[in-house]
């Protein structure tokens, strides 16, 4: 049990960060209630890449082996431009021969986290969209859309995602502009493992306006990403899949089987992203974690991993501190530098892949492959991919077995 004592904790959001935080805190003996706006909690979108960092948190939850069975081991990242010149070429093995990432379908990750949450003592209240938090001395009560109050809680963990309503409500000084580009994404069968075989996250780009990604996510499936301006992704605006199919086949003819399936299935999810920067992690007893605190573009594939690390760091900070104020300060000290780095690095890198600035595409094609081979830069780029950066000048190392060592 933590030295803070047993806390009443409310967690808003049953996504990656919220479920991990709720489970870890309930395991530590805190009394946890999770609020989810949907009647049936569910994942949205296709697949994602878990880094050694996120996998370490899944291991702490006892979920790593199941995740590895469901997902696909990824050995690195390969990007080519439309002329098939290398743009990116990074390998986890540079960090440790046993290191890898894991491509996994969101549905699989969600089921694992949700099953584990259900086994814990945390209580889940669904169909409860939280619209406000009312302070009550040092405690906080959450208010749902129907006006029902829940609490009071010693700690409210706001894990309500990149488009967080609580952030808007409680931290009006936070910045969270939308990126001008987003993407569509779908998961399709790769029955002949044409794309899965090299076990790579692969990308093809043409300038900065055309980008496609293919990520094996296990069980002979691949998630396909296609970049589009955010304006084209507005709800209700139709996407011309025939035009997309034509353009995608021109960019990546070898992926014809996957492109045809995606074009015919017509089940693309749409995603827009925000560049989230908070002035501080908490407003009194309300702490923001996950995308609500540091949403970025997915260019570096870190968001879910950062959310899992937040969840773990919160449970450790509460265990190591004498009171809540000290615990939240310790949490901020541990999580501030890495999440700031990934937010800044994603923001710097994104226009080289998604923007209306063709010169950035030319610079990317000319310089990035060189950087991937340069002795000083390659280790930095690989540790960035693996989620190991603490900041621009420092990074964590993997342990003797090639795994990420979590803070005790």
C-alpha to C-alpha distances, 237 to 179, 211, 234, 262, 338, nearest whole angstrom: 18, 20, 6, 18, 37
- Using CB under 6 A, pick the residue from 159, 171, 176, 395 that binds ligand FAD: 159
From the list 182, 159, 123, the residue with the least C-alpha distance to 12 is 159
Can you name the residues that pair with 102 across neighbouring β-strands? 50, 73
Residue 15, interface with ligand FAD (CB under 6 A)?
A: yes
3-state secondary structure of 293: helix
Q: Does 271 bind ligand FAD (CB under 6 A)?
A: yes
Residues from 205 through 234 that contact ligand FAD (CB under 6 A) = 225
Pick 4 or 26: Cβ nearer ligand FAD: 26
Taking a C-beta distance cutoff of 8 angstroms, is the pair 382, 337 a contact? no
Binding status of residue 183 toward ligand FAD by CB under 6 A: yes
Scan residues 116-145 and list those touching ligand FAD (CB under 6 A): 129-130
Binding mask 315-344 for ligand FAD (x = CB under 6 A): ------------------------------
Name the 3-class secondary structure at 225: strand
What's the min distance (Å) between Cβ of 77 and ligand FAD?
11
226, 273, 281, 342: residue in contact with ligand FAD (rule CB under 6 A): 273
**Cross-strand pairs, 103:** 49, 72
CB of 118 to ligand FAD, least distance (A): 15
Q: Calculate Rg over the CA atoms of the chain.
A: 21
Residue 128 or 318 with smaller CB distance to ligand FAD: 128
Residues 45-64 that bind ligand FAD (CB under 6 A): 45, 48-49
Closest CA to 34 of 112, 104, 113: 113
Distances (CA, A) of 154 to 40, 224, 232, 235, 325: 27, 42, 43, 38, 11
Q: Which two tokens stand for residue 330?
A: 């310790």
Tell me how far, at minimum, the Cβ of 162 lies from ligand FAD, in Å: 6
Q: Does 305 bind ligand FAD (CB under 6 A)?
A: yes
- Per CB under 6 A, residues contacting ligand FAD are 12-18, 35-38, 41, 45, 48-49, 129-130, 159-161, 165, 183, 185, 225, 271, 273, 290-292, 298, 301-305, 307
């Amino acid at each position: 049990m933590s030295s803070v004592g047993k806390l009443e904790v409310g967690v808003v959001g049953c996504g990656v960060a919220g479920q991990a935080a709720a489970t870890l805190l309930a395991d530590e003996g805190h009394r946890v209630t999770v609020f989810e706006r949907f009647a049936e909690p569910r994942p949205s979108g296709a697949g994602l890449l878990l880094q050694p960092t996120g996998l370490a948190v899944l291991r702490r939850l006892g979920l790593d082996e199941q995740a590895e069975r469901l997902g696909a081991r990824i050995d690195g990242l390969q990007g080519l431009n439309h002329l098939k010149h290398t743009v990116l070429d990074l390998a986890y093995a540079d960090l440790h021969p046993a290191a890898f990432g894991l491509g996994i379908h969101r549905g699989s990750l969600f089921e694992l986290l949700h099953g584990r949450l259900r086994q814990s003592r945390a209580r889940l209240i669904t169909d409860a969209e939280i619209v406000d938090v009312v302070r009550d001395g040092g405690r906080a009560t959450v208010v749902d859309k129907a006006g029902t109050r829940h609490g009071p809680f010693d700690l409210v963990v706001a894990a309500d995602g990149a488009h967080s309503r609580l952030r808007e409500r409680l931290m009006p000084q936070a910045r969270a502009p939308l990126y001008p580009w987003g993407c569509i994404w779908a998961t399709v069968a790769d029955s002949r493992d044409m794309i899965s075989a090299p076990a790579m996250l692969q990308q093809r780009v043409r300038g900065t306006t055309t980008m496609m990604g293919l990520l094996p996510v296990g069980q002979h499936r691949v998630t396909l990403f296609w970049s589009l301006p955010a304006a084209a992704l507005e709800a209700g605006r139709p996407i011309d899949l025939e035009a997309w199919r034509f353009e995608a086949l021109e960019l990546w003819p070898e992926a014809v089987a996957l492109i045809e399936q995606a074009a015919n299935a017509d089940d693309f999810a749409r995603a827009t992203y925000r560049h989230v920067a908070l002035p501080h992690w908490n407003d009194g007893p309300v702490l923001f974690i996950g995308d609500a605190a540091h949403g970025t573009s997915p260019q570096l594939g870190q968001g879910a991993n950062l959310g899992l690390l937040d969840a773990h760091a919160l449970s450790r900070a509460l265990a190591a501190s004498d009171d809540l104020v000290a615990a939240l300060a310790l949490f901020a000290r541990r999580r501030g530098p890495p999440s700031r780095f990934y937010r800044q690095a994603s923001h710097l890198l994104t226009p080289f892949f998604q923007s209306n600035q063709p010169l950035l595409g030319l610079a990317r094609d000319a310089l990035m492959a060189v950087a991937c081979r340069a002795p000083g830069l390659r280790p930095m780029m690989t540790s960035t991919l693996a989620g190991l950066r603490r900041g621009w000048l420092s990074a964590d190392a993997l342990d003797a077995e090639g795994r990420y060592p979590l803070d005790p």
